[in-house]
Structure 1
Amino acid sequence: MVNKEAWKKDRIQSAANGTNPMVIAKMKSGYAAIGDTQFLPGYCVLLPFHPYRSLEDMPVSERKDYLFDMSLIGDAVQDVCEPRRLNYSIYGNSDPFLHAHIFPRYDWEPEERMAYPVWQYPEVKWKSERYQYTDEWHGKMRERIGRKIVELMEEAYLSQNIQK
């Protein structure tokens, strides 16, 4: 029997070989992916092309593209989901490879949660089947975010070429 979630064991390699179903778009520095959990609709992750341990391990020449791509994902999520604000996070404490989280934050969140990092939400928000990504519930949003990412990349890189 084939394990449908084997891609989770190496998210970066599975993105590279086309078996990571969460990938939204290939970017200049890595892969934009929709988050496994969607209790904050539009949550995305940026995976680099190589499994660096941390941002400091990434060559300086690649960092600016990585951080810029992270901001483009945020712009796309902002446009599609219209959150109150966005939170950007790079940790690497649980998963031992560089990846950036882009969390939309909403006015409808409980007031006691709004001033704190999303990691302080209860485990049920992260693990419950109710909040896990599904194409049925989140597919259209994912498609719109993906289209917006591509549009923003085209605009950004076209303007960079014009300025050279």
Structure 2
Amino acid sequence: MEWYENRIASAKNGTNPMVMAELNAGFAVIGDTQFLPGYSVLLPKEEFASLNDMPHELRKEFLYEMTVLGDAVAAAVKPTRLNYDILGNQDNFLHAHVFARQATEPARHRQLPVWSYERDYWVNEDNAYTDEKFGAIRAKITEYLNNYLASN
């Protein structure tokens, strides 16, 4: 099985190359696509179909750590705004998206959800995560998260 076929299991067994940090409630991962640089995802440590299926105390911690991941993204890329999104419509497991929105985005998308971007933005090889293109951003996010973990 390839790591991306089960992102949570591969994060747990150490084969998910996108993991930046293991937090208390989940794994912070850099997004496969970076058309919005800094795009990250928080994966829970166990699979849940939805946020409502997660035990209450763990749910609180997961949501709090989602905002910590947002703080890390904000520190790394200085966005105009952060968007948080938990959907589960396409991937039927709980995961939280953190998108850094910028004033430099195309005007037709700037005030809309990121899902309004055409498919090409999501799958274009120029936007695919590579260490060469986006490693410095990833390192800043990871450093922030490691400092958070060290202080808690």
Structure 1 and Structure 2 fold alike (TM over 0.5): yes
- The answer as to whether partners of 1:34 and 1:45 remain within 8 angstroms in 2 is yes
Correspondence for 1:110 among 106, 125, 131:
106
TM-score by length of 1: 0.90
Correspondence for 1:39 among 35, 39, 43:
35
Who is 1:12 aligned against?
8
Correspondence for 1:91 among 87, 92, 96:
87
Who is 2:17 aligned against?
21
Residue 59 of structure 1 and its aligned partner are, at CA, apart by 0.4
TM-score by length of 2: 0.97
- The answer as to whether partners of 1:72 and 1:153 remain within 8 angstroms in 2 is no
Aligned length: 152
Q: Distance in 1 between matches of 2:48 and 2:136?
A: 31
Name which one, 1 or 2, has greater alpha-carbon Rg.
1
- The answer as to whether partners of 1:76 and 1:149 remain within 8 angstroms in 2 is yes
Residue 150 of structure 1 and its aligned partner are, at CA, apart by 1.6
Query: What's the secondary structure of 2:6's corresponding residue?
Result: helix
1:142 matches 2:130? no
Q: Distance in 1 between matches of 2:45 and 2:69?
A: 16
Who is 1:59 aligned against?
55
- The answer as to whether partners of 1:76 and 1:152 remain within 8 angstroms in 2 is no
Unaligned segments of structure 2, at least 5 residues: none
Query: What's the secondary structure of 1:25's corresponding residue?
Result: strand
Correspondence for 1:71 among 62, 67, 70:
67
Q: CA RMSD in A?
A: 1.0
- Deviating 4+ runs (over 2 angstroms): 152-155
Who is 2:115 aligned against?
119
Deviations 1:116-154 (A, max 9, x none): 000110000001111000011111110110010121233
Unaligned segments of structure 1, at least 5 residues: 158-164
Q: Distance in 2 between matches of 1:87 and 1:121?
A: 14
Matched AA of 2:16:
N
